[in-house]
């Protein structure tokens, strides 16, 4: 192929990207990168009423956030632009005119109402509705006369015969054109229909391979006929089976699938999303789950794409995300976590102070193994940032009401007050905790749990010595004292805990 591999992603700008079209992008992108070809971004906005510039930018922002680039197209330019269909209307009209002059398309004056009548009549006879062909053979005079009252649409004249598709994923598929009625390629408002515009764009933009969802299979015979009528060579087509929900129906919010903006907000990492999505339909030769895009790109081939639908499982995505959070470089993870710490007054300025940066890094590293989304970080770390610990949950308060809580906290305060601040490190803290346990003689759990609750307000979390290390001597003791005086106040009959 003279131009080499040229693939494209052609979304209608209808909002944020979602699981299905991100995977389509990814497969095309991997194919392009594997073959050292070109990735093209085209915006298909002729069906979208007045698609705002903002909607196109949303697509661009989403792709950039995912770290997926493109070589040519919207926002980048290239030899075969414009790359936004609404800016290519003259091009579609030129080709429609050519087809009309060759008798391969014709003007159709049928109104919406007439077409609806026709449709109903077919259905009433138990037949598949299709265009009757009413305007197929209008004379020039008819056309002149009818044009006075109505602006016509342009219909493609479907030739009789069979159409064969050698699909790169599905194999050979044959269609019978007799079930396809003549279809509109240009609406009466002059806008092209999807099947027409897509062929012209793919041909003009020298697209070599089309990889898309198999919901487009039924469009393919129409597109092949247009390629043939215009004398264009047909790109290689590959239709990838859909991603379904766990109940095997079309994927939707109901199945826990969200738009990219929601995944962003919830704190999923782009690499985790991409790694997961590529496995919804593609498998590497040697089974592995965590693979970098570079590794996948090196191995990517269409013959390892499954012919059957893949099932989306949000829990699996969470698993991928937790793995990627664990593997993150600490500085990068802190940068990603920062927006989620905003509610504690932490922001980019906080990172300018070395000591604070180190403290925040320690905090994020401490909990990275226990979160599957960055949005879980505030809940896991709030006790490092608040001034006072308030315990509300009954199952947590019970640890402070326990008779052993007072002695445990008193023991903690006693032992830890004696640790020299210059030696207040993880090792000393561990030694100190062990001493508190040994002195009390009621076992580790009963001793440490009230201390944990006093320091964090929770019964679960990272290791206590690491928490104490980050909180520091003064704050840890102060929290234990506050809890202890609460307990004593309670014993004296005061309200509090
Ligand atoms: N705009 C179409 C879509 O988003 C493109 C289909 C195609 O790839 O041909 O589904």
Report the b/e string of 479-494 with b at 16+ CB within 10 A: bbbebbebbeeeeeee
CATH number at residue 143: 3.40.50.620
Backbone angles phi, psi at 136, to 5 degrees: -55, -40
The span from the CA of 88 to the CA of 201, in Å, is: 9
Average pLDDT over residues 484-490: 86
0.85 exceeded by pTM: yes
In order of 133, 359, 469, the CA distances from 144 in angstroms are 19, 80, 88
Closest atom of ligand 1 to CA, residue 11:
4
Q: 153 with 180, same domain?
A: yes
- Tally the domains of the chain: 4
Residue 319 domain flag = no
What's the pLDDT score for residue 1?
Answer: 45
The span from the CA of 127 to the CA of 437, in Å, is: 83
Clarify whether 253 is annotated catalytic.
Answer: yes
Nearest alpha carbon to residue 296 among 286, 310, 308, 306: 286
Residue with CA closest to ligand 1 atom 5: 10
Q: 225 with 121, same domain?
A: yes
The span from the CA of 44 to the CA of 433, in Å, is: 64
What's the pLDDT score for residue 280?
Answer: 96
What's the pLDDT score for residue 177?
Answer: 95
192 alpha carbon – ligand 1 mean position (Å): 14
Nearest alpha carbon to residue 344 among 374, 306, 387: 387
Whole-number CA gyration radius for the chain = 32
Q: 17 with 115, same domain?
A: no
Residue with CA closest to ligand 1 atom 3: 11
Q: 339 with 399, same domain?
A: no
pLDDT tens-place string over residues 9-52: 999 998 899 999 999 999 999 999 999 999 999 999 987 655 57
Residue 396's Cα: distance from chain center in Å? Answer: 37
Q: Ligand 1 pocket: which residues have CB below 6 Å?
A: 10-12, 44, 198, 212, 216
pLDDT tens-place string over residues 202-261: 999 999 999 999 999 999 999 999 999 999 999 999 999 999 999 999 998 888 888 999
Among 383, 403, 418, the domain boundary falls at 383
Tokens standing for 407?
Answer: 């002695």
Q: Among 94, 97, 144, 253, which one carries the catalytic annotation? A: 253
Residue 277 domain flag = yes
Which one of 11, 167, 193, 221 would you pick to mutate in the ligand 1 pocket, going by the greatest count of ligand atoms within 8 A of its CB?
11
Q: How confident is the model at residue 126 (pLDDT cuts 50, 70, 90)?
A: very high
Contacts of 210 (CB under 8 A, 6+ apart): 7, 8, 202, 235, 236, 237, 238
Residue 316 domain flag = no
Residue 389 domain flag = no
Q: 128 with 176, same domain?
A: yes
What's the pLDDT score for residue 491?
Answer: 55
Among 255, 282, 311, the domain boundary falls at 311
Residue with CA closest to ligand 1 atom 4: 11
Task: Classify residue 210 as exposed, middle or buried by CB count within 10 Å of its CB (0-12, 13-18, 19+).
Answer: buried
11 alpha carbon – ligand 1 mean position (Å): 6
Long-range contacts of 281-287 (CB under 8 A, 24+ apart): 281/23, 281/27, 281/240, 281/241, 281/243, 281/305, 281/306, 281/310, 282/27, 282/306
CATH number at residue 471: 1.10.10.350
Residue 121 domain flag = yes
pLDDT tens-place string over residues 186-196: 999 999 999 99
Which one of 194, 222, 224, 236 would you pick to mutate in the ligand 1 pocket, going by the greatest count of ligand atoms within 8 A of its CB?
194
Question: Does the structure show a pLDDT above 70 at 56?
Answer: yes
Helix axes 394-401, 444-456, angle to 10 degrees: 120
Closest atom of ligand 1 to CA, residue 9:
8
Residue 442 domain flag = yes
**Sheet containing 183-186: which strands, arranged edge to edge?**
105-108, 153-156, 183-186
Q: 47 with 141, same domain?
A: no
Residue ranges of E strands in 160-245 = 162-167, 171-176, 183-186, 209-213, 236-240, 243-244
pLDDT tens-place string over residues 332-343: 999 999 999 999
Contact predicate 44/12, CB 8 Å: yes
In DSSP terms, which residues pair with 305 in a beta bridge? 282
Q: 133 with 230, same domain?
A: yes
Q: 341 with 364, same domain?
A: yes
Neighbours of 101 (CB within 10 A): 9
pLDDT tens-place string over residues 406-456: 999 999 999 999 999 998 999 999 999 999 999 999 999 999 999 999 999
pLDDT tens-place string over residues 358-405: 999 999 999 999 999 999 999 999 999 999 998 888 999 999 998 999
Q: 222 with 290, same domain?
A: no
8 alpha carbon – ligand 1 mean position (Å): 10
Residue with CA closest to ligand 1 atom 6: 10
Domain region containing 266: 6-84+244-311
Q: 287 with 189, same domain?
A: no
Contacts of 276 (CB under 8 A, 6+ apart): 316, 317, 320
Q: 296 with 369, same domain?
A: no
Residue with CA closest to ligand 1 atom 9: 198
CATH number at residue 338: 1.10.8
393 alpha carbon – ligand 1 mean position (Å): 51
Closest atom of ligand 1 to CA, residue 212:
8
Tokens standing for 237?
Answer: 């087509």
In order of 7, 160, 177, 178, the CA distances from 221 in angstroms are 20, 12, 8, 11
Q: How confident is the model at residue 307 (pLDDT cuts 50, 70, 90)?
A: very high
pLDDT tens-place string over residues 73-112: 999 999 999 999 999 999 999 999 999 999 999 999 999 9
Contact predicate 381/477, CB 8 Å: no
Residue with CA closest to ligand 1 atom 10: 11
Question: Does the structure show a pLDDT above 50 at 139?
Answer: yes
pLDDT tens-place string over residues 141-196: 999 999 999 999 999 999 999 999 999 999 999 999 999 999 999 999 999 999 99
The span from the CA of 120 to the CA of 111, in Å, is: 14
Q: 232 with 135, same domain?
A: yes
Contact predicate 235/199, CB 8 Å: no
Q: How confident is the model at residue 53 (pLDDT cuts 50, 70, 90)?
A: confident
235 alpha carbon – ligand 1 mean position (Å): 15
What's the pLDDT score for residue 255?
Answer: 87
Among 383, 407, 424, the domain boundary falls at 383
């Amino acid at each position: 192929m003279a131009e080499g591999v040229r693939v494209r992603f052609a979304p209608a700008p209808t909002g944020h990207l979602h699981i299905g079209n991100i995977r389509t992008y990814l497969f095309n992108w991997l194919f392009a990168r594997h073959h050292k070809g070109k990735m093209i971004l085209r915006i298909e906005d002729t069906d979208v009423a007045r698609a705002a510039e903002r909607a196109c930018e949303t697509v661009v922002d989403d792709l950039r956030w995912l770290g997926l680039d493109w070589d040519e197209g919207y926002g980048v330019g290239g030899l075969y632009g414009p790359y936004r269909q609404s800016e290519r209307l003259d091009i579609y009209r030129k080709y429609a005119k050519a087809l009309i002059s060759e008798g391969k398309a014709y003007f159709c004056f049928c109104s919406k109402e007439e077409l609806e009548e026709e449709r109903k009549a077919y259905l009433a006879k138990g037949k598949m509705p299709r265009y009757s062909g009413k305007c197929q053979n209008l004379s020039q005079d008819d056309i002149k006369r009818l044009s006075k009252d109505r602006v016509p649409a342009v219909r493609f004249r479907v030739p009789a015969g069979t159409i064969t598709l050698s699909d790169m994923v599905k194999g050979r598929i044959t269609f019978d054109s007799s079930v396809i009625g003549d279809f509109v390629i240009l609406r009466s408002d002059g806008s092209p229909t999807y099947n027409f515009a897509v062929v012209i764009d793919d041909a003009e933009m020298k697209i070599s391979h089309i990889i898309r969802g198999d919901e487009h299979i039924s469009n393919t015979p129409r597109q092949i006929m247009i390629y043939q009528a215009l004398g264009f060579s047909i790109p290689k087509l590959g239709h990838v089976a859909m991603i379904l929900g766990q109940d095997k129906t079309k994927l939707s919010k109901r199945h826990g699938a969200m738009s990219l903006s929601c995944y962003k907000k919830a704190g999923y990492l782009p690499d985790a999303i991409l790694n997961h999505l590529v496995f919804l339909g593609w498998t590497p030769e040697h089974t592995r789950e965590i693979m970098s895009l570079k590794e996948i790109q090196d191995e990517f081939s269409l013959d390892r794409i499954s012919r059957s639908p893949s099932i989306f499982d949000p829990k699996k995505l969470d698993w991928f995300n937790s793995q990627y959070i664990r593997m993150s470089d600490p500085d990068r993870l802190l940068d990603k976590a920062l927006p989620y710490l905003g509610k504690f007054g932490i922001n980019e300025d906080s990172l300018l102070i070395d000591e604070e940066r180190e403290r925040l890094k320690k905090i994020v590293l401490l909990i990275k193994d226990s979160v599957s989304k960055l949005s879980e970080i505030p809940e896991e770390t709030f006790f490092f940032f608040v001034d006072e610990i308030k315990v509300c949950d009954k199952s947590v308060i019970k640890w402070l009401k326990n008779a052993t809580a007072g002695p445990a906290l008193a023991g903690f305060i006693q032992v830890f007050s004696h640790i020299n601040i210059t030696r207040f490190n993880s090792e000393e803290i561990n030694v100190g905790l062990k001493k508190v346990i040994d002195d009390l003689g009621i076992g580790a759990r009963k001793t440490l749990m009230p201390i944990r609750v006093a320091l964090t307000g929770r019964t679960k979390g990272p290791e206590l010595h690491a928490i104490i290390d980050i909180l520091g001597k003064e704050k840890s003791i102060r929290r234990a004292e506050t809890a202890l005086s609460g307990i004593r106040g309670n014993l004296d009959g005061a309200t509090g805990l």
